[in-house]
């Protein structure tokens, strides 16, 4: 399924995308089975409810897709897409693509380099990311974001993907001066300012994406292709990241892992290039979707 959180008729709802239409899940499930337990009203709640809730949602979407059930679908263009979920925690991974690690330099990593992005940094597709006037080196990073679907605590790498609900697209916006111009790097602060985590447009379930070993990533700035890479270049795979993180903390439904970015961010260009008001961004992960937003 291609799941989304959207605003319509003065409410925030969760739904599933079918072509150029969206199916509000709560209404579709009532039409499918009036006696069925109601679905949670948030994406994170849906994930926390586990497999039975996702199966019920899938059944409702299949029913709404029938030609005689057009009333259960509404035009996608008629709703406002929001970030697909409000994460519990956002764990980022630095220098996790070999080509990006090469352009950054420094010693070879023997373990993932982890930082945190607060949930207050999340914004949705179509947002205008406001760069504080005092930030001088705002940068972009297209990333595959992994959404956890069931609790992962000290899991093995071989079973780690069983804990994935799906994937979305993330822009790890970064104020580079706090990473590289300070005596001690402040990576989480550099990447945690308000709005510095555009997310979306959808949560695409793991069964639709398949194995995340070879997914293309691309990023355009004002229609110029500035990043292009592939997850086959990951130093630590999605499964390896889940296994590593779960040694130290429980990953809960709705948590997000931002898996890193390929080469091509602005700070590492010659000369460096930074975001400015009026810029438009388009970020794509193969099989997952296209996230677009502006810079204010």
CATH code for position 26: 2.30.30.230
Quick: pLDDT tens for 137-152: 999 999 999 999 999 9
Q: Are residues 28 and 101 in the same domain?
A: no
Please state the three-class secondary structure of 5-29 as a single string: EEEECCEEEEEEEECCEEEEHHHHH
Average pLDDT taken over every residue of the chain: 97
Show the tokens assigned to 278.
């009026």
Better-predicted residue by pLDDT, 224 or 103: 224
> Does residue 61 sit in the same domain as residue 145?
no
In tens, the pLDDT along 43-66 reads 999 999 999 999 999 999 999 999
- The total number of structural domains in the chain stands at 2
129 and 50 within one domain: no
Mark whether 138 and 168 lie in a shared domain.
yes
Q: Are residues 13 and 50 in the same domain?
A: yes
| Domain shared by 72 and 108, yes or no | no
Predicted confidence at residue 105, as pLDDT, reads 86
Same domain, 73 and 103: no
pLDDT tens profile 225-234: 999 999 999 9
CA–CA separation, 192 vs 115, rounded Å? 10
The residue-averaged pLDDT of 249-274 equals 98
- Residues 94 and 159 placed together within one structural domain of the fold: yes
State the pLDDT at residue 108: 84
Compute the distance between CA of residue 47 and CA of residue 191 in angstroms, rounded to an integer: 26
Q: Same structural domain for residues 46 and 116?
A: no
Give the pLDDT score at 293: 98
CB-count exposure of residue 230 (10 Å: 0-12, 13-18, 19+): middle
**Which of residues 81, 110, 128 is at a domain's end?**
81
Of 12, 47, 81, the domain-final residue: 81
User: Which residue(s) pair with 293 in the sheet?
Assistant: 281
Task: Please determine, for residue 106, whether its predicted confidence score (pLDDT) is greater than 90.
Answer: no
The whole-angstrom separation of Cα 159 and Cα 219 is 31
List the domain range (segments joined by +) for residue 216. Answer: 90-295
Q: What is the dihedral of CA 146, 148, 152, 158, to 10 degrees?
A: -50
Kindly report the CATH number assigned to the domain that includes residue 258.
Answer: 3.90.850.10
> What pLDDT sits at residue 126?
98
Q: Is 264 exposed, middle or buried (0-12, 13-18, 19+ CB in 10 A)?
A: buried
Q: Quick one: which of 40, 72, 59 has its CA closest to 1?
A: 59
- How many separate helices (H) and strands (E) can be counted in the chain? 8, 19
Do 28 and 120 belong to one domain? no
| Res 145: pLDDT | 99
In this structure, the answer to whether residues 129 and 55 fall within a common structural domain is: no
Same domain membership, residue 242 and residue 147:
yes
The 10s digit of each residue's pLDDT in 179-196 is 999 999 999 999 999 999
**Pairing of β 138-139 and β 174-175:** antiparallel
């Amino acid at each position: 399924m291609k799941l989304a959180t959207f605003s319509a008729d003065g409410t925030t709802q969760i739904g599933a995308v079918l072509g150029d239409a969206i199916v509000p899940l709560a209404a579709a499930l009532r039409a499918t089975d009036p006696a069925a337990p109601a679905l949670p009203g948030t994406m994170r709640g849906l994930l926390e409810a586990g497999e039975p809730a996702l199966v019920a949602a899938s059944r409702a979407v299949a029913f709404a897709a029938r030609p005689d059930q057009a009333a259960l679908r509404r035009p996608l263009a008629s709703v406002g897409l929001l970030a697909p979920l409000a994460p519990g925690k956002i764990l980022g991974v630095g220098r996790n693509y070999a080509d990006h690690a090469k352009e950054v330099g420094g010693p070879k990593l023997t373990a993932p380099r982890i930082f945190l992005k607060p949930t207050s940094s999340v914004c949705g597709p179509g947002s205008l990311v406001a760069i504080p006037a005092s930030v001088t080196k705002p940068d972009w990073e297209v990333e595959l974001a992994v959404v956890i679907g069931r609790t992962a605590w000290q899991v093995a790498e071989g079973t780690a993907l069983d804990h994935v609900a799906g994937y979305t697209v993330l822009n790890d916006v970064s104020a580079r001066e706090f990473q590289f111009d300070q005596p001690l790097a402040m990576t989480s602060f550099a990447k945690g300012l308000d709005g510095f985590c555009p997310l979306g447009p959808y949560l695409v379930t793991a069964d639709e994406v398949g194995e995340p070993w070879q997914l293309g990533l691309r990023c355009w700035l004002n229609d110029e292709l500035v990043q292009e890479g592939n997850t086959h270049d990951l130093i630590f795979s999605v499964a390896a990241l889940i296994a590593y993180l779960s040694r130290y903390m429980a990953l809960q439904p709705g948590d997000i892992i931002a898996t890193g970015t390929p080469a091509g961010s602005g700070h590492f260009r010659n000369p460096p290039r930074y975001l400015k008001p009026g810029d438009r961004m388009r970020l794509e992960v193969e099989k997952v979707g296209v996230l677009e937003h502006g810079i204010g």
